[in-house]
A and B are shown apart, each in its own frame.
Chain A
Amino acid sequence: MTAPMHDTPTDVAEAAPVEVAAEPAAKKVEGRSLKQIAWNRLKQDKVALAGGIVVVLLVVVSVFAPVIVGLLGHPPNEGNLDQLEDLTNLPKGALGGINGDFLFGVEPNTGRDVFSRIVYGARISMLVAVLAAAVAVVLGTLFGIMAGFFGGWVDAVISRVMDVLLSFPQLLFIIALVSVLPDDLLGLTGSGVRIATLVLVIGLFGWPYIGRIVRGQTLSLREREYVEAARSLGGGARHILFRELLPNLVAPITVYTTLMIPTNILTEAALSFLGAGVRPPTASWGGMLRDALSVYEHDPMFMVFPGLAIFLTVLAFNLFGDGLRDALDPKGTR
């Protein structure tokens, strides 16, 4: 369910301390910073690059959704009943009504353009996944770094909170929570409330994964000489945390953010599939699969496109994230 999250143990090992600190001395001799080394490695990793390109494409599609749909499709919420058979309400023609006009066919019962809904669905997926990852990263980094650096009761409290969050039946809890939350909240209405709720809840349950990693890294980094040096020069806790430690955590945090986004996409799709995602008629991939569940016996094509959209997006992010991890890994040989 929360699939890739559980990769953590290996990931922890592989993403071991990454030293980003570009030391000026080394730069003169070598002429290559770690960023450059990583970029060179990434450039050679064709699979990861392909993943990266798909990710960029998806971002473009989500941003320019209205333009793309204007050029190639029909408005996403417009029913094209003339595309449906009269008796069964199934799309006319083979393969779910695919033709030159409707690139991915039409929805059974409503006749809405599947292509347009896939394009608009990308917006929801990306928006929720990226914002939720942002929430998780901010919380995870903040609490992780504090737990690792201060230790003692601060660590104890934060670690226990992370344990509790991780042992929550998350999906169950989120759908239940979404179902009891009112539709109007804090001045937001309609899809806005649902999107905000999804972002906050997914982010809230996601931060312990980042938090644990950041905590572990901080524990080992805080014993380093440069931290001692900063302290003996009179650096306060805030200076050490954000000026000395944080820059050294950027690499693992970047990798985990990339790997967290696909998990969030799957979670969002799962929630929409269970009816706890964005409200119809707003298009979302999971919601389309939910609609497909009752008709795929008769119109199997309808489930193929949203399913493939989720699959390809998540795969692309995973490939890119894996490549990024290998590229930033100081132990890597490539």
Chain B
Amino acid sequence: MLAYLIRRLGAVFVMVLVVLLTTFVIFYMLPKWAGQDLAVLFAGKNSGAEQLEGIREKLGLSDPLFVQFWDFVRGIPFGRTFANGDDVTNCPAPCLGYSFRTEAPVWDTLKDALPVTGAMAGGAAVLWLVGGVTSGVISALKRGTVWDRSAMVAALSGVSMPIFFTGMIMMGIFVHSLGWIHIDDTLTSQDSLGTWVESLILPWIVLAFLHAAMYARLTRATMLEVLGEDYIRTARAKGVTEPVVIRRHALRSTMTPILTVFGLDLGVLMGGAILTEVTFNLPGLGNEAVKAIDGKDLPMILGVTLCAALAIAIANLVVDLMYAVIDPRVRLG
């Protein structure tokens, strides 16, 4: 078990490193090939040659690519010192560099954005997992009935709806027309729980609707397959009551594929539900990412990519660990 965990953590580490390296190469090399100067991106177009040279020296932009990458990676656990002669900036761990745009440490911005994205993704996940699985199970049990059909039509509609369209409809109704909800676009940890819930309730609903749709379809299909298995018949033949058959025998193995998808989805959302955050104008990772990209803010792009890749990798790892809990046949090792 411990060996397995160490091996998997190693794999996560390598995976994140590969994603990071790819991003790094693309975003530090492509502008160069396209004839852009990173120092100019950092300092602005009106800077003098001397100033640019200073920035190049300080940020190490003239170093070979792999030296730059190594410096960047080493800065994450150990912190980093940017120096140009007497001009020394100390960047404590975890150092992800400084934003080209705001010159604030990248980590500070990420630290403020993470809770927003986390709360949004987490709350939505609870809603959709419960809603999707429940309606999927009911659909499977009442196969072919009106409930089943309408649930599946709703599910397919949910899957086919772009989230920014649903989001705009919800905003239009509840924020602009009825004025029931006010979304705080500067959500911070100082705000009260009520403000958080009020700002996040619409994103939760919209995200949950989209995902619940997929989970309902997935649950229904898996459940129908599981209900045809021999061990379900055996359980029924033993005289186990139907609710127990469903809950203890069928639902348990239905959960395995659902959990796989859940891990992936949650990871993707944690890494920045870009569309949702842009639609509702929430100050989360996704919105930071879009701002960073608009401003060609390379350190910020790298920072957000790192968070996103980490979130996806960790979510997958947790899911694999959960398999062993849910499915007793699975032995980790």
- Count contacts on B: residues with CB < 8 A to the other chain: 60
Q: Is the CB of A182 within 8 A of B217?
A: no
- Interface 1/0s, chain B 18-62, versus A by CB < 8 A? 110011001100110010000000000000000000000000000
A96 to chain B, nearest CB (A): 13
Are B165 and A180 in touch, CB under 8 angstroms? no
- Chain A residues within 8 Å of B305, by CB: 169, 172-173, 176
Query: Do B27 and A311 touch (CB < 8 A)?
Result: no
Contacts A4-B159, A168-B309, A314-B160 given; does A274 touch B290 at CB 8 Å: yes
Contact of B159 among A276, A289, A293, A318 (CB under 8 A): A318
**In angstroms, how far is the closest chain B Cβ from the Cβ of A9?**
4
B103-111, B196-204, B229-237, B258-266: which lies at the interface: B258-266
Bound Cα distance from A286 to B294, whole angstroms: 18
Contacts of A10 in B (CB 8 A): 217-218, 221-222, 257
Q: At the interface, yes or no: B272 with Cβ under 8 Å from chain A?
A: yes
Interface residues of A in 1-24 (CB under 8 A from B): 1-4, 6-10, 13-14
A4-B214, A297-B172 given as contacts; is B162 within 8 A of A311 (CB)? yes
On whether the beta carbons of B308 and A266 are closer than 8 Å, the reply is no
Question: Which listed residue (B165, B169, B286, B316) contacts A310, Cβ 8 A?
Answer: B165
Binding site for A on B (CB under 8 A): 15, 18-19, 22-23, 26-27, 30-31, 34, 156-157, 159-165, 168-169, 171-172, 176, 210, 214, 217-218, 221-222, 225, 257, 260-261, 264-265, 267-269, 271-275, 278-279, 286, 289-290, 293-294, 296, 301, 304-305, 308-309, 312-313, 316
CB atoms of A164 and B18 under 8 A apart: yes
Q: How far is the CB of A41 from chain B (nearest CB, A)?
A: 17
Chain B hits for A182, CB < 8 A? 34
Additional A-B contact list (5), CB under 8 Å, known A169-B272, A179-B296, A296-B168 = A9-B222, A167-B312, A273-B278, A303-B165, A315-B157
Closest A residue to B218 by beta carbon equals: A10
A173 to B269, CA, bound (A): 14
Q: Are B162 and A2 in contact (CB under 8 A)?
A: no
Q: Which of A6, A176, A275, A289 contacts B214 (CB 8 A)?
A: A6
Q: Which of A6, A273, A297, A315 contacts B261 (CB 8 A)?
A: A6
Could you show 22 A-B contacts with beta carbons less than 8 Å apart?
A7-B214, A9-B218, A166-B264, A167-B309, A169-B272, A169-B304, A169-B309, A171-B275, A172-B305, A173-B305, A176-B301, A177-B26, A179-B293, A180-B296, A262-B160, A270-B164, A274-B290, A289-B164, A293-B279, A311-B162, A311-B165, A314-B159
Contact of B221 among A13, A173, A276, A296 (CB under 8 A): A13
Closest to B12 in A: A167
Cross-chain contact of B265 among A6, A292, A296, A303 (Cβ < 8 A): A6
Closest residue on chain B to residue A183 by CB atoms: B34
Inter-chain contact B165/A300, CB cutoff 8 Å: no
The answer to whether B218 and A1 touch across the interface, beta carbons within 8 angstroms, is no
CB of B214 within 8 A of CB of A13, answer no
A175 contacts B by Cβ under 8 Å = yes
Return B132 CB to nearest CB of chain A, in Å. Answer: 12
Closest to B273 in A: A1
Asked if A172 and B159 sit within 8 Å, CB to CB, the answer is: no
A315 close to B160 (CB less than 8 A): yes
Q: Shortest beta-carbon distance, B306 to chain A, in Å? A: 10
| Interface pair A274/B274, CB less than 8 Å apart | yes
Q: A172-B304, A274-B274 are in contact. Are A13 and B165 (CB under 8 A)?
A: no
- Residue pairs across A and B with CB atoms within 8 Å: the count is 154
- List A199-251 residues whose CB lies under 8 Å from chain B: none
Residues of A within 8 A of B160 (CB): 262, 311, 314-315, 318
Give per-residue flags for A300-323: 1 if the beta carbon is below 8 A from chain B beta carbons, else 0: 100100010011001100110010
CB-defined contacts of B19 to chain A, threshold 8 Å: 164, 167-169
Residue of A nearest to B315 (CB): A167
Give A8 to B210 CA distance when docked, in angstroms: 16
How far, in whole Å, are A2 and B312 apart by their CA atoms in the complex?
Answer: 14
Closest residue to B153 on the A side, CB-wise?
A47
Check A3 against B168 for contact (C-beta < 8 Å).
no
A175 and B26 contacting across the interface, CB-CB below 8 Å:
no
Asked whether A163 is an interface residue with its Cβ less than 8 Å from the other chain, the reply is: yes
With known contacts A4-B159, A168-B19, A274–B275 Cβ distance under 8 A: yes
A181, CB-defined interface residue at 8 Å: yes
Is B272 touching A172 in the complex (CB atoms < 8 A)?
yes
- The answer to whether A274 touches B156 (Cβ under 8 A) is no
**Closest B-chain residue to A8, C-beta based?**
B261
Given contacts A164-B19, A307-B162, A315-B160, contact A169 B218 (CB under 8 A): no
Q: Which of A250-299 contact B (CB under 8 A)?
A: 262, 266, 269-270, 273-276, 286, 289, 292-293, 296-297
Determine the distance from Cα of A175 to Cα of B169 in the docked complex, in whole angstroms: 24
B278, A274: Cβ atoms under 8 Å? Answer: yes
Q: Which residues of B contact A314 (CB under 8 A)?
A: 159-162
Residue of B nearest to A314 (CB): B160
Q: What is the minimal beta-carbon distance from B149 to any residue of chain A, in angstroms? A: 10
Contacts of B257 in A (CB 8 A): 9-10
Least CB distance from B153 to A in Å reads: 9
Give the Cβ gap from A116 to chain B, nearest Cβ, in Å. Answer: 20
**A289 near B274 (CB under 8 angstroms)?**
no
Contact B312 A180 (CB under 8 A): no
Contacts of B274 in A (CB 8 A): 1, 171-172, 175, 274
Task: Please name all residues of chain A whose beta carbon is closer than 8 Å to the beta carbon of B289 when the two chains form the complex.
Answer: 172, 175-176
Q: State which residues 46-83 of A face B: CB under 8 Å.
A: none
In the bound complex, residues from chain A placing their C-beta under 8 Å from that of B156 are 315, 318-319, 322
